[in-house]
Amino acid sequence: MMYVVANRVPVAEGWEEEFETRFRRRSGQVEHQPGFVSMEVMRPKSADAPWVVLTRWESEEAFRNWIGSEDFKEAHRNPLPKEAFRGEGRLEQHEVLISAYRETP
């Protein structure tokens, strides 16, 4: 069953560009993890909403293996300073029960 993780990150005003740049320049360890499917970084459309980093995994086990890996530690080694955030982020984890896709001709 597909497993989706949404990391909701409240980026402080003035730090948006640096946050985005860090993701654009990241080393890409997650893409090589067994069970990784995709990642999307979503910029909020309103000032009070958090940024969302959405990852999809083949299973919860694949996600757990990623967060316990040396690659994960390396990817998170140099975090932005505390003032770059408007508070604590929130990690949401979900199992996908139903999926729908546009039909291709």
In a domain, 101, yes or no: no
CA nearest 33: which of 6, 59, 7, 53?
A: 59
Q: Tally the domains of the chain.
A: 1
The amino acid sitting at 99 is S
In a domain, 18, yes or no: yes
Instruction: Tell me the per-residue pLDDT of 32-84, one tens digit each, with 9 for 90 and over.
Output: 999 999 999 999 999 899 999 999 999 999 999 999 999 999 888 889 999 99
103: left (phi over 0), alpha (psi -120 to 50) or beta: beta
Cα separation, 8 vs 37, whole angstroms: 19
In a domain, 23, yes or no: yes
- Is the confidence at residue 27, as pLDDT, over 80? no
In a domain, 104, yes or no: no
**For residue 42, what is the domain's CATH number?**
3.30.70.100
**Domain residue limits at 63:** 3-95
In a domain, 45, yes or no: yes
CA nearest 22: which of 86, 88, 79?
A: 79
**pLDDT of amino acid 7:** 98
In a domain, 102, yes or no: no
Does pTM surpass 0.85? yes
